Copies of this chain bind each other. A is one copy, B any other.
Amino acid sequence: MSSTTTVISNTRSGCVHRWTKTLIPTARDVPSDAITASHQLLLRAGVVRQVGAGIYDYLPLGFRSLRKIEQIVREEMDAGGGCEMLMPALIPTELYKGTKRDVEYGDMLFTVTDRHGRVAALGPTHEEVITELAKASITSYKQFPLNLYQIQTKFRDEFRPRSGLLRGREFIMKDAYSFHLDIEGDAGLNATYDAMFAAYTNVFTRSGLNFTVVEAEAGPIGGSASHEFMVNADSGEDTIYVCDASGYAANVEKCEIGQRGSDLDGAPTGDLEEINTPNLPGIDGVAQFLGCEPKHMLKCIVLQPKEENATKWVVAVVRGDHDVNEGKVRDAVGFAVELGDEKAARAAGFAIGYVSPKAAKLIDGCLLVVDPDAAQPGEGVGWATGADKKDHHVKHFTWKREMGDASYVKLADIRNAVAGDPSPRAEGSTLREQRGIEVGHIFKLGTKYADAFKFTVLDRDQKKRSIIMGCYGIGVSRTMQACIEQSHDDNGIIWPAPIAPYHVHIVLMKPEDEATKAACERLCAGLSAAGCDVLVDDRKERPGVKFKDADLIGMPVRITIGPRGLEEDSVELKARTDESKGGLVKLDDVVATCVGMLNG
């Protein structure tokens, strides 16, 4: 694993490009349909240009940054044992026969029909293609582990493409797939998973990003078999929870909540009172009508098993201000659940919208799972909840009085975490909420795809074994925008040096001036030999325009060459991150100073 903080090294020469010979169409106006700051800046700084809904040109600046991110990804994937290849964008839909993922994707999948009537999908990911390839190519257990990856353009027909590259319809991803016979051991899934965890950590660290690794929902495999890499940004669309004391972090789907007590034996707060509550929109409206707050209500959600099961229904009860987490319910009851079919639930006797915990007692084949925060004595108006009857709620619901013997109530953490919840890893600490943009995801797939493709290999003992897989994704174009979302100010982008399109931006005050030209040539030669990529703004524009553009496109170091400085054999240096860094620097010292600022 090569994790280094050296950005600039003279083992490769940098490039020197001139503004007038490339295409950087900067704009002052904020595009009306771009809301997130990074989306606005991508467009205004001429990093990308929109071609259609969710479809973009990567202009020279954007392309250069992408290539730098890709190169970091490539180096770390290779160091982590990955092997690069390239699969086609067109995926014949026959390949989905065993997995039915084309059906799962539904409208998200772009498909093309060729002149002979054969259908192909535009790949959103490549599990099927790689599994088919591996099945045809791997003939011996000695070939494990194998970790194949590609950096490729992917497609998703988003209903509402938005936020620029964050939710586009054509985007660049690195996707990797690993193959194993075992979970443990040198050739096992866990070893590769750990190597990928380390590789991803290196990728985002080397890219200069401030990020959080969170545990993520991993589906029925269980365990902490999935991690997301989140770029920290207040405007991010993902919510994560962090325990600073222990370092625990998880996304909202996964986040555990620390120990909470429960008490089902509390005394009644009053007589059970049934109240007519017609036409009230949602839990807030009901609470207001009943003169309490949502947190004084019991929210009862009717779920059903995803697959055939002896249990027909599960009623999950959480406090009115909390949300049921289906993954946690699954772990509590031991089988996967989904929201109950409304029609069937009504037929079974549930007054959907007005269900109370009592329904679980009255209806056959129904489990009752209650979150500890809901398994408490009532306060104030007591617990308010449904009356198991259309348009009616009750006040003063009391667990012991209404439910009798509570032995059949299953207590479990079944809700999404919220800020301030007790940490599951450090007693006395609480969870802090944070926003992020997901840029990487690693995942233990298990045998799902191998089973669908009947992909088995004989092990050392000549026993047929199903292949175990892992998959590992990085949103490459997403990372570029996430970086801008995290790192910008009112004037424009602030690129971290490792993925900046150029390291140094030279502004010529008087591009026609001979002394200026000579100084520029000299600096460019020195900087590129030292490994710096240099952009020279040689336009015949007013200095003000050039400075504004320099801030907007945001290269880490700006050098201004002007007649006044040259009189003292000097130029002006400025760090984009910090105005105070830099100042007038002698020509002889510029290269060393720049390299110092960039590697600093």
Contacts and interface: CB of A to CB of B under 8 A. Distances in A.
A539 B139 CA distance: 13
Contact of A120 (B52, B84, B540): B52
Contacts of A88: 51-52, 55-57, 170
Interface stretch (A109-117, A266-274, A299-307): A109-117
A89 B58 CA distance: 12
A129 interface: yes
A57 B130 CA distance: 9
A518 interface: no
B83 A60 contact: yes
A142 B20 contact: yes
A51 B91 contact: yes
A545 interface: no
A83 B23 contact: yes
Contact of A58 (B11, B85, B95): B85
Interface in A309-358: none
Contacts of A62: 85-86
28 contacts: A11-B11, A20-B142, A23-B85, A23-B137, A23-B146, A49-B137, A51-B87, A51-B91, A51-B129, A51-B132, A52-B92, A52-B120, A55-B88, A56-B88, A57-B88, A58-B86, A59-B133, A60-B83, A62-B85, A63-B86, A64-B84, A66-B86, A90-B169, A90-B170, A107-B115, A114-B157, A122-B122, A153-B153
Nearest to A84: B63
For the complex formed by this chain, how many copies does it contain in all? 2
Given A57-B88, A59-B85, A64-B84, 11 more contacts: A20-B143, A22-B83, A23-B143, A51-B132, A52-B91, A55-B88, A60-B83, A66-B86, A89-B153, A90-B155, A112-B112
A114 B120 contact: no
Contacts of A87: 51, 57-58
Interface string A133-166: 1001110001100101000010101010000000
A537 to B, nearest CB: 13
Interface of A: 11-12, 15, 17, 20-23, 25, 46, 49, 51-53, 55-60, 62-64, 66, 78, 81, 83-92, 95, 107, 110-112, 114-115, 118, 120, 122, 129, 132-133, 136-138, 142-143, 146, 148, 153, 155, 157, 159, 169-170, 539-540
Interface centre among A25, A86, A107 (most CB of B within 10 A): A86
A110 B90 CA distance: 11
The 4 closest A-B pairs by CB, nearest first: A25-B137, A52-B92, A58-B86, A107-B115
A88 B59 CA distance: 11
Nearest to A121: B112
A580 B7 CA distance: 46
A133 B83 contact: no
B115 A112 contact: no
Contacts of A136: 25, 49
A203 B541 CA distance: 37
A1 to B, nearest CB: 16
A85 B57 contact: yes
Contacts of A146: 21, 23
A112 B114 contact: no
Contacts of A53: 118
Contacts of A112: 110-112, 122
Given A51-B129, A112-B112, A170-B90, A60 B78 contact: no
A160 to B, nearest CB: 10
A92 B111 CA distance: 15
Contact of A170 (B89, B115, B169, B539): B89
Contacts of A66: 86
A553 to B, nearest CB: 14
A188 to B, nearest CB: 15
Interface centre among A62, A66, A118, A143 (most CB of B within 10 A): A143
Contacts of A143: 20, 23
Nearest to A137: B25
A411 to B, nearest CB: 44
B55 A159 contact: no
A430 to B, nearest CB: 43
A508 to B, nearest CB: 15
Contact of A55 (B15, B51, B90, B111): B90
B115 A159 contact: yes
A114 B81 CA distance: 38
Contacts of A133: 23, 49, 57, 59
A215 B157 CA distance: 44
A22 B64 CA distance: 29
A211 to B, nearest CB: 25
A378 B16 CA distance: 68
B60 A84 contact: yes
